[in-house]
Amino acid sequence: MTDFQRLAQLRGEKCEAVDAIEHEGSPDIYSVGTSIEFTSGTHLNAQFWRLIKGGRPVVSIFDHRQRYGLPEPIDALRIIREELVGKQLLDAVMDQTTGDLRFRFDNDLLLEVFNFTGFEIWAVTFPDGSSELSNYALDETRYFQFRPH
């Protein structure tokens, strides 16, 4: 079984935790990543993401620490934590063209994780220590092994 088939098997699990991953010495947009843990112990580390609720964007990592004329900077990590922790995962898929991930949760929540570069922008680590990295997601030698049916 390929690891992306295992990703789909997360269906029914709940989001247990959402934490910040601080990257010291990085420019602002790269200074904070996000770690999401599921009940199985599977971890998703994501650099770039957007949270959608009810078909409308709620917040993205690009909003984190931005003011946009508001009295306080936006705490995107607090918002995603409040929205996702305790929610059940209904579906997890990878876009065949881009390598983006989409996690659909109950309460009409959708987490999109973007694969913008050839570097490790997201990583999924399973409880047995195996992992999938965004920069290998579309590797032609493996692509047809995990393409959704």
Determine, yes or no, domain membership for 148.
no
Determine, yes or no, domain membership for 146.
no
| Range of the structural domain that residue 66 is part of | 3-134
Count: domains in the chain: 1
pLDDT band at 99 (very low <50, low <70, confident <90, very high): confident
- Cα 9 from Cα 134, distance rounded (Å): 19
pLDDT band at 142 (very low <50, low <70, confident <90, very high): very low
Residue 148 has pLDDT above 50, yes or no: no
In the chain, % of residues over pLDDT 90: 56
pLDDT band at 126 (very low <50, low <70, confident <90, very high): very high
- When pLDDT is averaged across residues 95-111 and rounded to a whole number, the result is 92
Determine, yes or no, domain membership for 56.
yes
Determine, yes or no, domain membership for 125.
yes
- When pLDDT is averaged across residues 51-80 and rounded to a whole number, the result is 93
Determine, yes or no, domain membership for 78.
yes
Confidence at residue 8, expressed as pLDDT on a 0 to 100 scale:
83
Residue 104 has pLDDT above 70, yes or no: yes
Confidence at residue 27, expressed as pLDDT on a 0 to 100 scale:
52
What is the dihedral sign for C-alpha 87, 45, 5, 139? positive
